[in-house]
Amino acid sequence: MGSSETEYSERKERGRVWEVFRRLSKRVTALIGLVIVLLFLISALIAPLLAPHDPYEHSLAHKLAKPSWDYPLGRDELGRCILSRIIYGARISLLIGLIVISIGIFVGVPVGVVSAYYGGKVDFIVQRFVDTMLAFPGILLALLLIAMLGVGLHNVMIAVGISTIPIYARLARSSVLAIKSRQFVEAARSIGASHLRIILQHLIPNSLSPIIVQSTLHMATAILWAAGLGFLGLGVSPPTAEWGAMLNGGRLYIRVAYHVATFPGLMIFITVLGFNLLGDGLRDALDPRLKT
């Protein structure tokens, strides 16, 4: 009985993930988003296998060369393969996105959960602090932090990450407030479960859906911000392939060689679009009111 029981529960657990995927795949836009995101993830993970050339190998003789069979997206101002640089650039974008969201979730969610669970004065003080952070435009906060911490990829990630914390804190708080008054939380209390157990076992798992959706959408924002900061020269240091920095490099030659700035720009556009479509689709697929 024992092993068949756990097997059964695992099958059910997988069934729920499958169910979400099934609902997701019913929407064409969400599916397009999913495909774009998967392509992005694949190119980031196996960049060395996909890239036709070394992204750092330059050849001034061929600078700003037009797209050709050998170099499908052409070469940049230093004669480097733009396609390879875009593929490698996906790694930086993915890294930035993941770190930024991790900072946001791992700091913001506990703050929001504790704030909502304990309520009262704790909640009031924490939320006024969150209000103050939310009042800053995110990019301004990021710029401020970079000014304090210095230019560089790590600092960009930390800065953008910190500026997302209040959003996750507010989101987690509102989900927990809605769940806190449900009877199963009272049931857990009546059983004698500790605060920690109630938070970890009951509150957090039940408030995860909006956070998953938000983090997908945030992935897009983080990539955009990182590119924006890269464009301003506040992100990665020069030779590194990063979409924002590539855009900035190509900006000067836009009249003579459109492809240098256009393709990285398109990549940013498509990736951000992909994450947004997926996020929208997930929001609908995870909505418990749509459960059939």
Partner 1 sequence: MVNDILIEAKDLSVYFPVTKGIIRQRRIAEIKAVDAVSFFIRRGETLGLVGESGCGKTTLGRTLMQLIRPSSGEVFFEGENLCRLKEDELRPIRQRMQIIFQDPFDSLDPRMSAGEIVAEPLRVHQKIKGKRLREQVGELFKVVGLDPAMSGRYPHQFSGGQRQRLGIARAIAIRPKFIVCDEPISALDVSIQAQIINLLEDLQTEFNLTYLFIAHDLSVVRHISHRVAVMYLGKIVEIADRDALYRSAKHPYTIALLSAVPIPDPYVESTRERIILKGEPPSPMALPPGCNFHPRCPIGVEVCQREIPLLREVEENHWVACHLV
Is residue 11 involved in binding partner 1 (CB under 8 A)?
A: yes
Closest to 201 in 3D by CA, of 211, 191, 210, 212: 191
Tokens for 17, please give them: 């993930």
Contact status: 206 vs partner 1 (CB under 8 A): yes
Residues 168, 113 contacting (CB under 8 angstroms): no
What's the CA gap between 93 and 88, in Å, rounded? Answer: 9
Considering only CA atoms, which of 24, 52, 65, 16 is closest in space to residue 256?
Answer: 65
- Give the separation between CA 229 and CA 159, rounded to whole angstroms: 11
Euclidean distance between CA atoms 198 and 72, whole angstroms: 56
Among 19, 54, 57, 186, binds partner 1 (CB under 8 A): 186
In the complex, least distance from residue 187 CB atom to partner 1, rounded to whole angstroms = 5
| 192 sits near partner 1 (criterion: CB under 8 A) | yes
The residue within the footprint of partner 1, chosen from 68, 102, 132, 201 (CB under 8 A), is 201
Q: How far is the CB of 205 from partner 1 (least distance, A)?
A: 4
Q: Is residue 113 within 8 Å of 204, Cβ to Cβ? A: yes
Q: Is 286 in the site for partner 1 (CB under 8 A)?
A: no
Which among 19-27, 102-110, 151-159, 189-197 is the span making contact with partner 1, rule CB under 8 A? 189-197
Size of the site for partner 1 (CB under 8 A): 29
CB atoms within 10 A of CB 185: 19
> Tell me, what DSSP letter sits at residue 292?
-
Q: How far apart are CA 199 and CA 109, in angstroms?
A: 11
Task: Supply the minimum distance, in Å, between the C-beta of residue 201 and partner 1.
Answer: 8
The stretch among 21-29, 158-166, 195-203, 246-254 that binds partner 1 (CB under 8 A) is: 195-203
Taking the C-alpha atoms of residue 265 and residue 43, their distance in angstroms, rounded to an integer, is 17
Q: Which of 182, 200, 233, 237 lies at the binding interface for partner 1 (CB under 8 A)?
A: 182
Write down the least CB distance from residue 25 to partner 1, Å: 22
Tokens matching residue 58: 């330059």
Of 80, 85, 202, 259, the one binding partner 1 (CB under 8 A) is: 202
Among 25, 102, 132, 194, binds partner 1 (CB under 8 A): 194
Residue closer to partner 1, measured from CB, 189 or 251: 189
Footprint of partner 1 (CB under 8 A): 1-2, 4-6, 8-9, 11-12, 16, 182-184, 186-194, 197, 201-202, 205-206, 288, 291
